[in-house]
Amino acid sequence: MSAAAKRVFLSGNFLVLVALFVVAGLISPYFWTTENLLNVIRAASLIGIVAIGMNVVILAGGIDLSVGSVAALTGAIAASVWLSGAPPLAFVAIPILVAVLVGLANGFLITAIGLQPFVGTLILMTVVRGAGLVYTNGQPIYADYPEPFRFLSNGWILGLPAPAVIFFAITLVTWYALKWRVIGRQVYAIGANETAARLSGVQVNRVKLATYVYSALLAGVAGLILTARMGSGEPGQAGQFWELDAIAAVVIGGTALQGGKGSVWGAFVGALIIGIVSNLFNLLGVAPQWQQVAKGGIILIAVGLQYFNDHARVAWTMFRASPRSEGAKP
Please count the other Cβ atoms lying within 10 Å of the Cβ belonging to residue 68. 25
The pLDDT tens digits of the residues spanning 57-113 come to 999 999 999 999 999 999 999 999 888 888 878 888 999 999 999 999 999 999 999
The pLDDT tens digits of the residues spanning 228-243 come to 888 888 888 888 889 9
Number of H helices, E strands in the chain: 14, 4
pLDDT interval class at 330 (50, 70, 90) = very low
Distant-in-sequence, close-in-space partners of 218: CB < 8 Å, separation ≥ 6:
49, 50, 52, 53, 170
- Range 244-258 average pLDDT: 87
The pLDDT tens digits of the residues spanning 2-14 come to 444 445 544 567 7
Is 35 exposed, middle or buried (CB count within 10 Å of its CB: 0-12, 13-18, 19+)? exposed
Main-chain dihedrals φ then ψ at residue 157, nearest 5 degrees: -130, 115
Q: pLDDT at position 326, please?
A: 53
Please count the other Cβ atoms lying within 10 Å of the Cβ belonging to residue 242. 26
Q: Are 208 and 107 in contact (CB under 8 A)?
A: yes
Q: Which residues pair with 160 in a beta bridge?
A: 157
Q: Which residues pair with 306 in a beta bridge?
A: none
CA–CA gap between residue 242 and residue 219 (Å, rounded): 9
Helices (H), ranges, 60-112: 67-83, 90-111
CA–CA gap between residue 213 and residue 2 (Å, rounded): 32
Please count the other Cβ atoms lying within 10 Å of the Cβ belonging to residue 312. 10
Q: Which residues pair with 142 in a beta bridge?
A: 232
Q: Comparing 186 with 306, which gets the higher pLDDT? A: 186
Q: pLDDT at position 1, please?
A: 45
Q: pLDDT at position 316, please?
A: 63
Q: pLDDT at position 309, please?
A: 65
pLDDT interval class at 244 (50, 70, 90) = confident
Q: What global pTM score does this model have?
A: 0.87
Indicate the length of the chain as a whole number. 330
CA–CA gap between residue 325 and residue 240 (Å, rounded): 52
Main-chain dihedrals φ then ψ at residue 142, nearest 5 degrees: -95, 135
Q: Comparing 275 with 215, which gets the higher pLDDT? A: 215
Average pLDDT, the chain: 85
E-strand ranges in 229-295 read: 232-233
Domains of the chain, CATH where assigned: 36-305 (1.10.3470)
pLDDT at 288 over 50: yes
Q: Comparing 210 with 90, which gets the higher pLDDT? A: 210
